[in-house]
Structure 1
Amino acid sequence: MNLKNIILLFFSVLILSFYSCKKESNNSGNAGNTTENRVKDSAWNYAKDIYLWYKSLPSDFNARSYADPDAIMKALRPYSIEPGFRDPVDRWSFAIKKAEWNNVSSGISGDFGLGIFFKSANDLRVSYVEPASPAAAAGIERSWRILSVNNNTTVNTDDATVSRISTAVFNSSSASFTFEKPDGTAIDITLTAATYQDEPIILDTVYNNGGNKTGYFVFNSFLGNVTGIKGRLGNIFNEFSTAGITDMIVDLRYNGGGYVELQNELANYLVPSAGNNGIMLQEKYNDKYSALFDTTINYQKKGALNLNRIFFIITKNTASASELLINSLKPYMDVKLIGRPSHGKPVGYFNIGVGNWYIFPVSFRSINKNGEGNYFNGLQPDATVDDGLDKPWGDINESCLASALHYINDGAFSRISPRAQQDVKLENGNTALDVKRFKGAVGEQRGMW
């Protein structure tokens, strides 16, 4: 962000704060003017000003009738009327306590460090394990099958079962599991939640693939220690350049987004040299703030790689900053997508402090160099391939990775699956199991996607 934008942002926040405080002071004589109600009033005053679809918000909206700022932000969603879409498009406006957001945004978690998804209706698998987590310390790995949770062997996609399992895995201080390893043996493990630092880059490697050298890395989040992640990316791309890779596969299947600054960093390594100084993305605000906040970010090429095509592995869990990365590169490279349609979040928001809360009303949309965006239905894959949950990271026989490698060798994707094979209950079950994972992108000063 240049100095002009920082100054404009600073004065805009002052104006917004003054506007909100003025509204509160005008109500200072009201009997119901408690601290809690003033926070609710402020949340609504900000939202009705900066919300991307503010013109659709009702004039009689009663913020004080809602439980808290999070409920208010979620109540905005039905008014997100977007041309070309039948249903409201906003699934993301929310609020969160400041202390909790400080942990989320810095990549600090306090759970088992275990991701889970259904491979089929009765087959629940470990999708990922955070390297510094209790699950990793216990030796659990991606692809292990979960046979029981807290001695309950009922494992299926029924709503009640999914709720029970989700509570045990994501909202419990301790839980017991029976796992089946890839060799068919069973093991009982009890996990106790602990605080740890997330590691977003799970794996990086180079494959000698039919005479081609292909770089591959798994990037699970754009959140965490920005300086450390930038250093890791620099090392990875130096290794890829030294190895002389001719193709790249970026695995974003569980990446719900994070810092736009890190998205920009990765995009600058991936874009071809011809894209240097070209438009990476543009952010567009509502008509009240377009002159002040609309922003264009240009590429500043990093590293020696100069690829003309790239492969991304995506799923419904690929969201926001991850989709931004893909969309921003499309005008400059042959971009191939493998997996399932992505989440569909081409809009963003920035964090606004209200009392001990941050509120995040959707405030802007993003487009690429060609003006392309609006992918509320998700980015569509070139090859529909099921997530190979029965294989560990980097296994060349894992469905999505195998499909990309096959294309690099033979010019055609493999492991193609009809979309109908993924039934609604399975998809809904996995969506419920992913509900706690952050989907957004934290921008410089102005917040998040």
Structure 2
Amino acid sequence: MRAIILLLTGCLLCACGGGGNSNSGGNTAAPGNLCQRNDINAQVFCALQQDYLWYRDLPASINPDNYASPSALLQAVAAPQDRYSFVLTAQEYQDRFINATFFGFGFSSVRSDNNSALQIAFVYDDGSAAQNGLRRGDKITEIEGVSVSQWLSQLDAGTISSEDIYGPNENGVVRNFIWQKPDGSQLSADFIKSDVTTNTVLHRS
């Protein structure tokens, strides 16, 4: 099954702002017309129409300017069963999967169905998260003493940015994480941001 990884050539666009404006009005456009536009949000929706596994579930018309970033647009239009698709800049893709370098705690996650946790999609062996026992399939429930559900509600409301949750992208930044294993046990550790050499083969059996 093929979901989609969207690669953008522009600068990184976080949930706090970016691609378009936040107007709630405006005319909607048919997907075919959006492919003639050069703005990032329109190009993202055009790519979804062409390559998305659940393309039949996409809205028939849409106004990309209603979404503050490509990630916000994707989250709004993605099929309910889609827990896999995400947005990367071209440079992020190059750094993470081609150059095999990554800066951060060394994990990637998706939201759980009820936004109560962050489900771990993969961990890099060289990162602080893996070294402290975080594994694929675990669920992060708390960061810096604040529940993930509370963090995500503030993030969606636009009152905070991802930097408020994870800290600035600086070497040595520490955040405390609490997570739950699939067997229900709970662990806690401080993760430290650093340059991580990535294992681009993420699973083997």
TM-score w.r.t. length of structure 1 = 0.24
More RCO (CA 8 Å, sep 6+): 2
Instruction: Pick the structure with more helix per residue.
Output: 1
Larger radius of gyration: 1
